[in-house]
Structure 1
Amino acid sequence: MHKFLLPAALLLAAGTAQAQIPAGTILVGGNINYSRRENQSELTPTSGKRTTQTVTGFDLGPTAGYFLADNLMLGLGLDYQKNHATAPVYVASLTGDISKLMDLEAKSRYLAVGPVVRYYHFLGENAAFYGQAGAGYRTGKAEDEYLLSANPNAMGTETRRTESSGFYGQLSPGFVYFPVSKLGLEVSLRGLSFDKMSSESTSTTGAKSPKASSSLFDAGIGLNDLRFGAAFYFGR
């Protein structure tokens, strides 16, 4: 009996030892996300026409890190976000006909950088859940058009440019599958985030608004918050 138990125990120990990321491993990878959504609403109760607001977003997040202990990584993460939204403007003629006049646009770009900590919990030899926490500095620029008057034909539009900077914190869950030991295919959620930002806006006419500060807590757990990525584990 002991002749069978000893090899089985050795095989189990070998499998357990393999189902981890050892200290000294170097991770280089990242994730990417693209989203598009359309928000539709009735233009007027009797027009029979619908207005559509389109919002697109692109998110790229490279990460590099070093495993201080088994399954525990300390690294540096970057996050670049680019968003674009359009909202149509309609006007009514003297005869009551409604037609589209223009699209108002809103654009923004954000860059965040800071340290990240990630811990893995393996489900077997080739799959693991992980949790990642990060914090750091965020900066961004945004432009948005708006009407100067309720009558768009009267005074047209103006563009407001906003620059912002501040700090963020984030906690996100993820899942990784290893087709080979040195390559992990990842899917994660944006998760919980907190931003504390200060901003200042300037219009195309040169008018400046006073500096403003804001705090935002957000939970990104929807389909639009999914991120797909891959990472190489050098030295594993």
Structure 2
Amino acid sequence: MKKLLILLTLSQLFIFTANAQIEKGSILIGGKLNFNNSNSDQWFGDLPNTSGRESKSIEFNFHPQIGYTLGNNWTLGTMLIFKAGKTVVNQNSSTSSSSTSDRLTTNDHAFGGALFIRKYFPFGEKFSGFAEFNSGSVWQNHESNYERTDSEATISETKYNELQSNMLAGIAYFPKNWLAVELSSNLLSFTHSKRKNEDNIQKANSNKFDFGMSTSSINLGVSFFLNNK
């Protein structure tokens, strides 16, 4: 996986002499998909005095795109942003006289839209590196449900309005001139978030800046280029 991340980065650092693979006036229709699933399990102590924590999370991202090729392998377009995720954390503690357990379940859903611009760097007959910048707005809903053995469940909901900007690096394989299979990952991300409570009253603003690729941010994409012969 580390070799793949290095390859994605190097594809943006070298421009090879080759004929353009994407003709001016071509229409791009495609999208990117990202899926993450993680589990962790930790236990401490010896019977009867033990404590433990179990965490499971799953996240799905889908970004359909449509764009227009301006020439010189530049493509400008729009994209939609869909996100769904769920995390469940269980904690347990027991002694010779008592035991307690609690569970925190969170659900996240997001929808938004953005503009993007992409530059392709062809090399060889079938491959091309590319860099993409996108920026747009996302509306996110975060729900949490906290349950404990000795108390009633606590349910809360928080809404976020976010402005997101991302810089991606990727590599595309062209089995056909009109079809590209792509791998990409975020290099740089900036998020400005406005948080609201259940009464839709603004509570806080925050800014987040991320730099560097990770295996959890790798996207698989497919693009169709209409009119590209």
Q: TM-score interval w.r.t. the shorter chain?
A: 0.7 to 0.9
The 4+ residue runs of structure 1 with deviation greater than 4 A are 47-50
Give the distance between the partners of 2:114 and 2:201, measured in 1 at CA: 30
Alignment match, 2:4 = none
Q: Deviations over 1:176-215 (max 9, x none)?
A: 000011000011113321111111123xxx8x87611111
Is 2:214 the partner of 1:222?
yes
Alignment match, 1:188 = 184
Alignment match, 1:4 = none
- Greater Cα offset, 87-96 or 154-163: 87-96
Q: Secondary structure at the match of 2:150?
A: helix
Alignment match, 1:84 = 86
Alignment match, 2:140 = 140
TM-score of the two chains, using structure 2 as the length reference: 0.83
Give the distance between the partners of 1:219 and 1:55, measured in 2 at CA: 23
TM-score of the two chains, using structure 1 as the length reference: 0.81
Amino acid at match of 2:85: N
Q: Secondary structure at the match of 1:190?
A: strand
Q: Deviations over 1:74-128 (max 9, x none)?
A: 00011211111000032436535x57x4532011011221110000001112100
Q: Give me the CA root mean square deviation.
A: 2.3
Equivalence map 1:1-236=2 (5 Å)? 16-17=18-19, 19-42=20-43, 44-46=44-46, 47=49, 50-92=52-94, 95=97, 98=99, 101=101, 103-146=103-146, 152-202=148-198, 211-219=203-211, 221-236=213-228
Unaligned runs of 5+ in 2: 1-16
**C-alpha contact 1:189 1:220 (8 A) present in aligned 2:** no
Amino acid at match of 1:180: K
- Quote the offset at 1:70 in angstroms: 2.1
- Quote the offset at 1:155 in angstroms: 2.3
**C-alpha contact 2:29 2:65 (8 A) present in aligned 1:** yes
Greater Rg over alpha carbons, structure:
1
Change (3 A) 1:156 1:209: farther
Q: Percent identity?
A: 21
Change (3 A) 1:32 1:220: farther
- Quote the offset at 1:218 in angstroms: 2.1
Give the distance between the partners of 1:89 and 1:224, measured in 2 at CA: 25
Change (3 A) 1:70 1:64: same
**C-alpha contact 1:35 1:224 (8 A) present in aligned 2:** yes
Give the distance between the partners of 1:209 and 1:92, measured in 2 at CA: 40
Higher helix content, 1 or 2: 1
For CA contacts below 8 A with separation 6 or more, give which structure has more relative contact order: 2
Q: How many residues align?
A: 210
- Quote the offset at 1:48 in angstroms: 6.0
- Quote the offset at 1:20 in angstroms: 2.5
Higher strand content, 1 or 2: 2
Unaligned runs of 5+ in 1: 1-14
**C-alpha contact 1:20 1:70 (8 A) present in aligned 2:** no
